[in-house]
Amino acid sequence: MRKEREFVKIALFSQSLFALPLAEAIEGAALVVIEALSRRERLAIALLVTAFGFTLSLAGLNVDGFIAAQNIQRARAGEPLDARYLTDLSSDAVPAMMNAYRRGGLPQEDEQALGRELACRIVETFPQDSWSWPSFHLGAYQSGALLLRNQDALEDYRIIKTPVGYDVSFRGGEAESCRPTYWDDF
């Protein structure tokens, strides 16, 4: 019995090294429950409470926004901006990207890549055909509203409709696909 409790403590502790503060608190509470009850049959309940709490904490956090902010912060520190990765993030990353674009301070190439991505998201967020209510997503709606409010900042980017999607050009320069295909995507 003692070995099982120690194993659970170690398993939960190792997960908490990568977890968020709220999840760590929930895991700690689960450990207290296990110690207090000292019953094997209660272990499953404690683990379910821990898993449920961790899932809820992820739902309340903006993971894609955090990833975008870290990518941009690395670019400010001199590393190359991973613009391709930004294209794969959800609409939850738009506020972090728009904030960084408006703030400036990025190398010119990275700033243009960020601007291209934001300009492409305007046409992708608001397609010509109307949305149906089952496809409504609050994060996409909020991101779309943010993009529309800041559309003036992206006036140097021109969107061009193509047979396979959209291209974007910066100040009349060479057009690039909004969603380029890479060979390693296959």
- 165 pLDDT band, cuts 50/70/90, is confident
Neighbours of 153 (CB within 10 A): 15
- 154 pLDDT band, cuts 50/70/90, is very high
Put the strands of the sheet holding 176-177 in their side by side order: 157-162, 165-170, 176-177
Nearest to 94 by CA among 29, 180, 31, 153: 153
pLDDT exceeds 60 at position 29: yes
Residue 156, SS3?
coil
pLDDT tens-digit profile of 39-83?
A: 666 677 777 888 888 887 776 778 899 999 999 999 999 999 998
- What's residue 139's pLDDT? 81
Rounded to an integer, what distance in angstroms lies between the CA atom of residue 117 and that of residue 9? 44
pLDDT tens-digit profile of 2-13?
A: 545 454 444 444
183 — phi, psi (to 5°)? -60, -30
Quote the Cα angle for 60-61-62, to 5°. 130
- What's residue 149's pLDDT? 92
- What's residue 46's pLDDT? 76
> Is the sign of the CA dihedral 67, 71, 76, 78 positive or negative?
positive
Rounded to an integer, what distance in angstroms lies between the CA atom of residue 82 and that of residue 48? 37
Note if the pTM is more than 0.85.
no
